Structure 1
Amino acid sequence: MNTKLKHLQIGDLTARLPIIQGGMGVGVSLSKLAGAVAKEGGVGIISTAQIGYDEEGFEKDQAGCNRLAIRKHIQKAKEIACGNGLIGVNIMVALKHYEEHVKEAVAAGADVIISGAGLPMKLPALVSETCRTKIAPIVSSKRALQIILKRWAHRYDRTADFIVIEGPKAGGHLGFSTEELVDINSLNYDEEIKNIIECKKEYEKQYNKKIPVIIAGGIFDSSDIAHALKLGADGVQIASRFVATEECDASDAYKQAYIHAKEEDIQIIQSPVGMPGRALRNEFIKNIERERQPIKKCYNCLAQCNPGTVPYCITQALINAVKGDVENGLIFCGSNVGRIHQMTTVHNLMEELTDFSSLNEN
C-alpha cells in the first residue's frame, strides 16, 4: 500500500495537510487549539457555540459577548498559526444568532465556515462568493446534500466550496436516528459516502470547479485516514483526538474524562437541539434520565428551544463540563473515545496521524 498525503486545496486556499480539526463547543475548540493545528499545516476550527461563555458580561449579554469572542479567537488563532494552515469556524444552523455568527466570522477573516446541526440553506446569502471565506455544509446522507446543493444552485447560482461528510461514529449532534446509531454496522456507511461523492460531481461540472470532500466521524489514526482517501475523500476531519492535547481549550478535568473513558461509558442521548448526540455517561445524564432538569435561566442559544419544555439547558450543561465539573455537565465525544489513553501535543498527534510508514510496509 502506497499512501501519501497531499495538500488540501479549497479554491485558492491551501492547507499543507488535509486534516481538519473538528469544531467542538462550548469552549472546547477555541483559538489555542485551532491555532496550534493550523501551525502544523492543518485546518483549525473554532466552534462559535456560546463562544463568549467566559467573557465578562456573558450572563447579561450572550449575543454581544459571542460576537466579540468570534473576532477575538479568530485573530488569536491566526497569530498562533504564524501564517501556516487555515483557520475556520463551525457554526450550527440551530443557533438563534446563526446569521450574526456567520457575518462576524467573515468580517473577522475566517478562511472557512463549516455549518451543520441543520441544513445551511441560507449560508451563500451570508457569505459573498467574492470574499476570501469558503463555505461547506456538513451532511450525513446523499439526500441532504442533494437538497442543499439544489437549493444553493437554484436560489444563489452557487455551490459548495467543499463538503464535510459526518458519519455515525462522530461526536456531538448527529444526523442519524437513534435506532441507526445503536446499530451502526447495519448502515454500510462506506456506500453512502461513495454515493455522496458521486452526487457532488454533477455540481463540479456545472460550476467548473473542484469540490473537495472531507470525511468525518470515527477517524482515529493513519489507517482510518488511508481508508477515507481510498473511498475518494480529499481529507478528513478529526475532533475527539484533539481533546487530549495540551493545547485544547477545555479544562484539564475535561481532558482527563476523555483519557479515562471506556467504550461502555459512551451513550446516545437526545439533545435540546432536536438531534441525537453521543456523549459520556455521567451523573448529569443519569439525572436527566430520572427527571427533567428545571431551567433557571435562558442563555438564548437555540432558535427552536422552549425553556419550559426541553429536558435540560444545553448551554449550562456544556459550560459546566468545559470548566471542569465533568459529573454535572454534558461531555460530547466520538465513538473511539475509549481508545484515547494519554495526553499529547498537537504537534505529536499530527505527526502520528501523518505517519503511514507501517501501512506502506504492508
Structure 2
Amino acid sequence: MKKLKIGNLIPKIPLVQGGMAVGISLDNLASSVANEGGIGVIGTAGIGLVKNDDNSLKSNIEALKYYIQKTKEKTKGIFGVNIMVALNNYEKYVQTAIEEGAKIIFSGAGLPLSLPELNKEKKAKLVPIVSSVKAAQVILKRWMKKYNYIPDAYVVESSEAGGHLGFKKDKLNDSKNSTLNLAKELVGFRDELYAEKQIYIPIIAAGGINNKKIAKQLFDQGVDGIQVGSAFIPTEECDADIKFKNKFIEATTDDIGILNSPVGLPGRAIKTKFFDLIKSGKAKPKTCNYQCIKTCNFKNVEFCIAQALYNSVRGDVDNGVVFSGKKGPDTNSIKSVKQIIKNIMDF
C-alpha cells in the first residue's frame, strides 16, 4: 500500500475520517483517528450550536477555536477541518481554522475556487472535495492561474456517500458515479497530469467505504487514500449521542433514502419520523433562526437543516436528520475507532 502524502504530511495510515458536522466529529473522534495514525477531521457547520446552543457567527468562531485547541491537546497526530463552501461567512471559518493550527482544510458542497486566497502564508494544506474529473480540472485551472497553487490532494466523493451529494437525484444510482468508477477516473486524471506536467495530486476516494473488500479494491485501482465517514459514527469515541449512534446499528440499507437539502444538493439519510415529515412536505420552517447556508431561503426549503441535524446528534432522532452513506457502517454494535480502522484497513 502506498503512502498518502499531502504535502509534507504523511499519516501512518492512508485513511481520512470524514468531517461530519453539527457535533458528530469534534475533538474526541478527530483526535482518536489521528492517534491511530489516520487523519482526523473536525466538522465545522453548526459547531456553535453544539458548544453554546447558538449558531451565530461569533458563537461558531468561538466554538471552532475551542474544538481545534481541544483536539491539539489530545493528539500529536494529523487533523484537519471540513468547511463547506455553502456556509455563510465561509472565509472567516477558513481563516480561523488556519490561524488556530488546523493542518488541512477539506472543502466541498460547492467549488472552493478562492480557497488559496485565504491561505497566503501556506500554513495549511488545501484539499477540495469533488465529484468529477471536470470539477477537479476547474479548480486546478483556477488555482494555478490566479494563485499559482496546486491542490494538495483531492477527495473524490461518489454518489454512495452520506450527507450532501454532488449529483442530480436521477444520477445517484448511475454506476458511472460509483466510488470505484469515480476513483478510477480521478486516478487516470492524476496520472495523465503527472505524465504531462510532472504534477502529482494525491487522490482520496470517498463514499460507502465500510469494509476491507472495497478498501482493497480502491487501493488496487491506485488511490492514495480513502475517506471513511459513517463507519466511525457507531464508535465509542464519536462525539454524538448514543441514540444517534444506535440508529446506525439498527438501520438496514432499505432504511436509507434521499431528501432535498437546503444546501441545494440531494442528501442521503437514514429514514426517521422527521424524514417522513420532510417527504410529505410537513417539515417546512416558518422562520429562519440561523442564516447558516448561503443557498437557503427558508420560504422555499423543505426543512431547517441546522435544527434537524442538531436535534438528531443530541439524541432526538425522531425530530432530526441522520445522514448516512449508502451502505451504512456495516456493524451491529458500538466499536472502537481502532477496531473500525482494523476492519477496513487490515488486508
TM norm. shorter chain > 0.5: yes
Q: Does 1:289 align with 2:260?
A: no
- Corresponding residue of 1:101: 93
Match of residue 215, structure 2, among 210, 216, 225: 225
How far apart, in 1, do the equivalents of 2:257 and 2:38 lie? Answer: 30
Question: How much does 1:78 deviate?
Answer: 2.0
- Corresponding residue of 2:230: 240
How far apart, in 1, do the equivalents of 2:285 and 2:325 lie? Answer: 28
% identical aligned pairs: 41
Structure 2 unaligned spans of 5+: none
Match of residue 176, structure 1, among 167, 170, 175: 167
How far apart, in 2, do the equivalents of 1:161 and 1:207 lie? Answer: 16
Question: How much does 1:289 deviate?
Answer: 2.0
Question: How much does 1:316 deviate?
Answer: 0.5
Comparing 39-48 with 222-231, greater Cα deviation is found at 222-231
Match of residue 333, structure 1, among 320, 324, 330: 324
How far apart, in 1, do the equivalents of 2:146 and 2:223 lie? Answer: 28
Question: How much does 1:354 deviate?
Answer: 2.5
How far apart, in 2, do the equivalents of 1:300 and 1:162 lie? Answer: 31
1:61-100 deviation per Cα after TM superposition (whole angstroms, max 9, x unaligned): 611111111111112112212x23x110110000011111
Question: How much does 1:332 deviate?
Answer: 0.3
Task: Output aligned runs, 1:241-280, within 5 Å.
Answer: 241-280=231-270
Question: How much does 1:131 deviate?
Answer: 2.8
Question: How much does 1:191 deviate?
Answer: 3.9
1:37-77 deviation per Cα after TM superposition (whole angstroms, max 9, x unaligned): 00001000011001111333x43x61111111111111211
The number of residues matched between the two structures is 346
- Corresponding residue of 2:205: 215
- Corresponding residue of 2:67: 73
* Contact in 2 for aligned 1:50/1:62 (Cα 8 Å): no
Question: How much does 1:352 deviate?
Answer: 2.4
Task: Output aligned runs, 1:1-362, within 5 Å.
Answer: 5-56=1-52, 58-59=53-54, 62-81=56-75, 83-84=76-77, 86-128=78-120, 130-181=121-172, 183-185=173-175, 187=177, 190-201=180-191, 204=194, 208-292=198-282, 293-337=284-328, 339-356=330-347
Deviation beyond 4 Å, 4+ runs, structure 1: 186-189, 201-209
* Contact in 2 for aligned 1:34/1:77 (Cα 8 Å): yes
How far apart, in 2, do the equivalents of 1:271 and 1:96 lie? Answer: 16
Aligned partner letter, 2:9: L
Judged with a 3 Å threshold, the aligned counterparts in structure 2 of structure 1 residues 122 and 327 are, in CA distance, closer, same or farther, namely: same
Question: How much does 1:297 deviate?
Answer: 3.6
How far apart, in 2, do the equivalents of 1:221 and 1:24 lie? Answer: 19
Structure 1 unaligned spans of 5+: 357-362
1:284-316 deviation per Cα after TM superposition (whole angstroms, max 9, x unaligned): 111122224233342121012112221211100
Comparing 183-192 with 329-338, greater Cα deviation is found at 183-192
How far apart, in 2, do the equivalents of 1:282 and 1:189 lie? Answer: 26
How far apart, in 1, do the equivalents of 2:299 and 2:98 lie? Answer: 34
Secondary structure of the residue aligned to 1:65 is helix
1:175-204 deviation per Cα after TM superposition (whole angstroms, max 9, x unaligned): 1111121x2436466344333223234655
TM-score normalised by structure 1 residue count: 0.91
* Contact in 2 for aligned 1:24/1:47 (Cα 8 Å): yes
Aligned partner letter, 1:47: G
TM-score normalised by structure 2 residue count: 0.95
Aligned partner letter, 1:65: S
Aligned partner letter, 1:149: L
